[in-house]
């Protein structure tokens, strides 16, 4: 039924203050009123649920500043409110009284009391924690190799932007290639080959720091990206991998390494590490040929 078809008496009953209060109680988004200092004057049940409390008394003595994970975000939101009189879908993290951190979107308006001139903020707070978790899972899926759990080439695209943003930042790169992997697959089958790839990825991850990336860039090729590493440190990690390979590597492999030169783009660093690997392979084949002759 269109609004103009609603009987006038019925329309008034639907729009009276009690109906609006009922609407505020039942809506799924958090509704609130605060002072400019961040003191919460009123809120609906959805707002209280977002903060994990049963009543406003549980938030007594706390202000919006106390609930922001990053108080600078609160200061930024206040500046926008002062400048524009409103903010729309301002995203930030809150920390509930029980310590749990949640993501929210805030839409807020500056309201003045027509009689006293006092200022208040009326707002709608939407809990988007589930959405942010899903986004994180999708990003994880898009940047990680499904078989080994290593990062994939999409990660290198993101890393390339970091290289461009800071030409002076130091990086080390180690290129790793499993020896004779195609032959192994042909003899033992692809399922056995997949198991070797998984074991190889775990071997590599064990020998680098947690914040450093192991990237699967091809069927049997891996790249290790070392954060803040110069040539000396990159060489040490490469030598450690060679030494550990004798004890715990699942299969034989070759490696090459390079440290970033000033202003060097990622693609050139990867290329130099790859060429280093090829040189190692040539040396190995010459040595194998000499052993065969003897």
pLDDT digits (tens, 9 = 90+) for 197-225: 999 999 999 988 888 899 999 889 999 99
So what's the architecture of 3-133 in CATH? 2-Layer Sandwich (3.30)
Q: Which has the closest alpha carbon to 42: 31, 26, 50?
A: 31
**Cα torsion 288, 275, 234, 223: sign:** negative
Instruction: Give the mean pLDDT of 229-248.
Output: 90
Please report the pLDDT score of residue 281 as a whole number. 67
Cα–Cα distance list, 46 to 52, 54, 108, 157, 179 (Å): 10, 10, 16, 41, 59
Q: For 129-188, how does the pLDDT look when each residue is reduced to its tens digit (9 = 90+)?
A: 988 887 766 666 677 888 998 999 888 888 998 898 898 999 999 999 998 898 888 888
Q: What three-state secondary structure class fits 214? A: strand
Please report the pLDDT score of residue 140 as a whole number. 63
112 or 292: which leads in pLDDT: 112
Tokens coding 101: 């951190």
Distance CA 276, CA 268 (A): 12
Determine the straight-line distance between the first and last CA of the chain, rounded to whole angstroms: 97
Q: Which has the closest alpha carbon to 155: 169, 139, 137, 143?
A: 143
- Ordered by start, the domain boundaries in the chain are 3-133, 144-293
Please report the pLDDT score of residue 293 as a whole number. 52
Please report the pLDDT score of residue 14 as a whole number. 46
Q: Which helix (H) or strand (E) holds 72?
A: helix 71-84
Distance CA 4, CA 2 (A): 6
Q: For 239-279, how does the pLDDT look when each residue is reduced to its tens digit (9 = 90+)?
A: 999 888 888 888 889 999 999 998 999 999 999 999 988 77
Please report the pLDDT score of residue 93 as a whole number. 94
Average pLDDT, the chain: 85
CATH: 3.30.420.40, 3.30.70.270, 2.40.160.40, 3.40.50.300. Which one for 144-293? 3.30.70.270
| Burial category of 36 from C-beta neighbours within 10 Å (exposed 0-12, middle 13-18, buried 19 and up) | middle
Please report the pLDDT score of residue 246 as a whole number. 81
Please report the pLDDT score of residue 1 as a whole number. 38
288 or 74: which leads in pLDDT: 74
Distance CA 100, CA 104 (A): 13
The answer on pLDDT for 22 being more than 70 is: yes
Please report the pLDDT score of residue 10 as a whole number. 44
Q: Which has the closest alpha carbon to 228: 211, 242, 240?
A: 211
The answer on pLDDT for 58 being more than 50 is: yes
């Amino acid at each position: 039924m269109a609004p103009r078809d609603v009987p006038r008496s019925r329309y008034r009953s639907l729009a009276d203050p009690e109906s609006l209060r009922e609407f505020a109680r039942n809506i799924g988004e958090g509704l609130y009123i605060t002072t400019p200092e961040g003191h919460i004057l009123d809120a609906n049940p959805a707002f209280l649920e977002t903060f994990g409390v049963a009543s406003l008394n549980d938030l007594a003595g706390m202000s919006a500043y106390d609930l922001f994970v990053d108080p600078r975000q609160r200061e930024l939101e206040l500046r926008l409110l002062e400048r524009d009189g409103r903010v729309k879908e301002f995203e930030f993290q809150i920390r509930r009284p029980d310590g749990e951190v949640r993501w929210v979107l805030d839409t807020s308006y500056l309201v003045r009391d027509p009689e006293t001139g006092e200022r208040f903020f009326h707002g709608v707070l939407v809990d988007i924690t589930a959405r942010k978790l899903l986004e994180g899972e999708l990003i994880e899926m898009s940047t990680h190799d499904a078989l080994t759990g290593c990062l994939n080439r999409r990660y290198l695209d993101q890393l390339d932007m970091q290289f461009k943003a800071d030409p002076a930042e130091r990086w080390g790169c180690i290129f790793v290639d499993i020896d004779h992997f195609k032959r192994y697959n042909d003899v033992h089958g692809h399922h056995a080959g997949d198991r070797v790839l998984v074991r190889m990825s775990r071997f590599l991850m064990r020998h680098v720091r947690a914040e450093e990336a192991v990237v699967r860039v091809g069927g049997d090729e891996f790249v290790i990206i070392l954060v803040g590493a110069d040539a000396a440190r990159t060489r040490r990690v490469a030598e450690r991998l060679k030494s550990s390979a004798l004890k715990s590597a699942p299969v034989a492999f070759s490696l090459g390494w390079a440290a970033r030169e000033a202003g060097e783009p990622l693609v050139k660093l990867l290329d130099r590490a790859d060429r280093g690997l090829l040189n190692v392979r040539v040396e190995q084949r010459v040595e194998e040929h000499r052993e065969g002759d003897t």
